[in-house]
Amino acid sequence: MFFRRAAWILFAMSLLFLPSYAMTQKVQDRAPSGLSNKVRTREIQKALLEATRLLRENPRKAIDLLKRLNERFPDQPNVLVHLGHAYQAVDSVDSAMVMYRRCLVINHTSLEAAKSLGMLYFSQGENERGEGHFRRFLETSGHSLAAYKMVGTSMAELGYYDLALNVFREGRTRSDAHYRLTLHIADQEKAMGNYRAALTEYLNYVDRFPPSYATAKQRIIQLFISAEGAERSSDEWRALLEVAERRAIRSMKARREIKDILSSVYLNGGLLEKALEAALEADQPGQSDGRTLYLLADGLRNGYIEQSSREKRRYFDLCIRALEAYIERHPKTVQTQRAAYNRASLLADAAKGLVPGFEGERRQAVIQNAIDELDRVFRKYPGSEEASLAAVEKGDLLFEVQRKPREALAAYNEGLKRARATRGVFVEKIGRMYLILEEYDLARRHFAKFIRSSNEERREAGIYYTGVLLGFTGEYEMARDTLTSLAETNPASIYANDAIELAWLIEEGRQGDEKLLGRFIDALKAELANDTSAVAEHLERVIARGPAAKLHARALYKLGGVYAQMGDFERALDSFQSFLDLYPRHDLRPDVHRAVARVYEHGLGNVDLALKEYEHILAKFPKYLLLDEVRADINRLKPEENDGK
């Protein structure tokens, strides 16, 4: 079985060498005269590909094909190597060895044949013979760098790490060019668990070849990750860090490169301040393209997105510092506009209250600062993706934070005129502003353009918002029909669920008091305007009519969500519980239970009660359409059980 697997691997790998084997063949072919080298190479390659296919289905046929090929084109090294692999696949070890030896007679520097023959010796238990073969190959190949790589790698693949290490070390002493074997030495030390020795060798490579340090950088980062996961984790990790820090101090040629590596290590280890300090030191004027700083800023931004509110401010401050340093030091690079946008976007988060520590006057200052920075990005980099994104965020801040829908509308319109990307986003936001400002005639014409669009998603948006508009203007029957048509004809549309929900609301409301339906529609208008207080007030008036009133159940459910959004979790749970007590058979019950679970999980931080609600949905509502999402919620809260399965 070993031979078949090895043969398969070697056979497939050897296809990579087909052109080079054919082009370097120095022996006079006895193929039919008149065949050019290109034609001969093409015929051989085609036959070898067919042999590879046959080897899966009928190895004997593959061998017959390769034999005929060898007769037609005698002593072609690539054909001989493939024949050797094919013989291995049928356990004909002696025949395989004959082919490999013959190939080495024809081309004594054939890495593929030498590797295959040597590994075959070891697999047969003839270790001394295998070592002798590899030793002779090193001599006949002139102790080339490629030969040392092949022999050392073969030893490592066979599990003889000490021998592999010795081969690489011997090779490194041959010449300056061979010093690149240092990476292989370090890899072997790591494989043997000698992390400090491995790190020392990686850093030796960086010291010797500073321009090529990126190759070692990824290996060093992985080494620290491996050390962190080892049983001796914290002590080993700190010891490695001390080795790297000492080398950064001593190194004359590669101090900047080692600081770059340390920046990534610090970031992965949560030492954020040290990461920024190292990145700033690595970013030396005139010697750096800013990549270190930019990557650190990107890593800090990703960490900021993932962090809880407690750590969010720390990541925010450091990321802002890194971005500002990058923009100041590298004002004309390709990434500068992205860095400028990322900085403005972070400030926008602070303006929205998503970053702790910005209250009162500081909040007002950061709001204006964010708007100014977004506007600067929009005007400084016209036509870019960053400019479009900045215009969207500027409009959002004007509307959501400053409550200035007309200024937001102007920002969206200006963005649409100059945008090359995200045009659909501007078009939709402009339409929503028309609805909020009750500019219904403008909204009607605007959505009509949507419907005529060749873009399917934009066309669906036009139909959906036309239905919303009809509902807002009291044309309930037309609104219901428009929304139902969208949901039925395009069930996969991103607007389908909202459309059918609003259609059901209108239909249910029309069966009772239309004034009550109008009150619910007023709540939806306030929701679109991002006025949660007004939403709550309208819904409370609907609920005040009592359970006998149509839309009472939907109002209870929606009001619970509004209270949760406002941070009033006690009233949210009361509203949801009232729904569950009053409506034991309502279709929205699983949605209400899920809303309760989310209040417990995200609002109150009570994972046990949240899990209980999710599991209740799973047990009691097997036909719930969002059951897969509920399972995902459970798996998220029970990761240890999920990992153990």
What is the tens place of the pLDDT at every residue in 358-394?
Answer: 888 899 999 999 999 999 999 999 989 999 999 999 9
Judge whether residue 27 has pLDDT over 60.
Answer: no
With respect to residue 613, please indicate whether it lies within any of the assigned structural domains.
yes
Q: Of the given ranges (77-81, 152-156, 440-444, 615-619), which has the lowest mean pLDDT? A: 77-81
pLDDT attached to residue 17: 40
Distance between CA atoms of residues 401 and 211, nearest Å: 48
3-state helix, strand, coil in the chain (%, to 5): 80, 0, 20
Judge whether residue 35 has pLDDT over 70.
Answer: no
Q: Of the given ranges (479-488, 577-586, 636-645), which has the lowest mean pLDDT? A: 636-645
Cα 160 from chain centroid?
37
Cα 157 from chain centroid?
31
Q: Which residue has the tokens 């929900």?
A: 501
pLDDT attached to residue 306: 86
Count each helix (H run) and each strand (E run) in the chain, helices first: 35, 0
Q: Where does the pLDDT of residue 28 fall: very low under 50, low under 70, confident under 90, or very high at 90 and above?
A: very low
Q: What DSSP string describes 542-567?
A: HHTT-TTSTTHHHHHHHHHHHHHHHT
pTM (two decimals):
0.72
Judge whether residue 236 has pLDDT over 90.
Answer: no
Q: Which two tokens stand for residue 176?
A: 């300056």
Average pLDDT of the residues in 46-75: 85
The terminus-to-terminus CA distance of the chain in angstroms comes to 31
Distance between CA atoms of residues 395 and 386, nearest Å: 14
With respect to residue 162, please indicate whether it lies within any of the assigned structural domains.
no
Judge whether residue 642 has pLDDT over 70.
Answer: no
Domain span including residue 630: 587-645
Show Cβ contacts of residue 310 under 8 Å, excluding neighbours closer than 6 positions.
356
Task: Write the pLDDT tens digit of every residue in 399-413.
Answer: 999 999 999 999 999
Judge whether residue 33 has pLDDT over 70.
Answer: no
Q: Where does the pLDDT of residue 421 fall: very low under 50, low under 70, confident under 90, or very high at 90 and above?
A: low
With respect to residue 632, please indicate whether it lies within any of the assigned structural domains.
yes
- Percent of the chain at pLDDT above 90? 58
Show Cβ contacts of residue 453 under 8 Å, excluding neighbours closer than 6 positions.
459, 462
Distance between CA atoms of residues 202 and 220, nearest Å: 7
Closest CA to 466 of 453, 490, 449: 449
pLDDT attached to residue 464: 94
With respect to residue 345, please indicate whether it lies within any of the assigned structural domains.
no
Judge whether residue 133 has pLDDT over 60.
Answer: yes
Judge whether residue 265 has pLDDT over 70.
Answer: yes
pLDDT attached to residue 643: 47
Closest CA to 187 of 212, 208, 205: 205
- At residue 619, the 3 state secondary structure works out as helix
pLDDT attached to residue 45: 86
pLDDT attached to residue 201: 93
Q: Where does the pLDDT of residue 500 fall: very low under 50, low under 70, confident under 90, or very high at 90 and above?
A: very high
pLDDT attached to residue 71: 86
Q: Of the given ranges (13-17, 52-56, 549-553), which has the lowest mean pLDDT? A: 13-17
pLDDT attached to residue 429: 93
- Phi first, then psi, for residue 585 (nearest 5°) are -120, 15
Number of domains in the chain: 1
pLDDT attached to residue 288: 78
> 52-56, 62-66, 567-571: which has the highest mean pLDDT?
567-571
Show Cβ contacts of residue 389 under 8 Å, excluding neighbours closer than 6 positions.
341, 345, 422
Cβ count within 10 A of residue 589: 19
With respect to residue 602, please indicate whether it lies within any of the assigned structural domains.
yes
Round the average pLDDT of the chain to a whole number and report it.
Answer: 87
Is 391 exposed, middle or buried (CB count within 10 Å of its CB: 0-12, 13-18, 19+)? buried
Q: Where does the pLDDT of residue 2 fall: very low under 50, low under 70, confident under 90, or very high at 90 and above?
A: very low
Task: Write the pLDDT tens digit of every residue in 459-481.
Answer: 999 999 999 999 999 999 999 99
Judge whether residue 219 has pLDDT over 50.
Answer: yes
Q: Of the given ranges (15-19, 198-202, 230-234, 593-597), which has the lowest mean pLDDT? A: 15-19
Residue type present at position 33: S
> 3-7, 92-96, 569-573: which has the highest mean pLDDT?
569-573
Average pLDDT of the residues in 595-610: 93
With respect to residue 449, please indicate whether it lies within any of the assigned structural domains.
no
Residue type present at position 122: F
Phi/psi region, residue 567 (left: phi>0; alpha: psi -120 to 50; beta: rest), is left
With respect to residue 606, please indicate whether it lies within any of the assigned structural domains.
yes
Show Cβ contacts of residue 188 under 8 Å, excluding neighbours closer than 6 positions.
152, 156, 161, 164, 165, 168
Cα 484 from chain centroid?
37
C-beta of residue 618 within 8 angstroms of C-beta of residue 631: yes
Instruction: Please say whether the dihedral angle defined by the alpha carbons of residues 145, 151, 155 and 161, taken in this order, is positive or negative.
Output: negative
Instruction: Please say whether the dihedral angle defined by the alpha carbons of residues 102, 108, 112 and 115, taken in this order, is positive or negative.
Output: positive
pLDDT attached to residue 26: 36
Q: Where does the pLDDT of residue 233 fall: very low under 50, low under 70, confident under 90, or very high at 90 and above?
A: low
Report in angstroms the alpha-carbon separations of 112 from 85, 159, 259, 623: 10, 19, 40, 59
With respect to residue 608, please indicate whether it lies within any of the assigned structural domains.
yes
pLDDT attached to residue 287: 72
Residue 438: enclosing H or E segment and its boundaries?
A: none
Distance between CA atoms of residues 179 and 173, nearest Å: 7
Report in angstroms the alpha-carbon separations of 44 from 18, 23, 35, 62, 414: 9, 12, 12, 14, 63
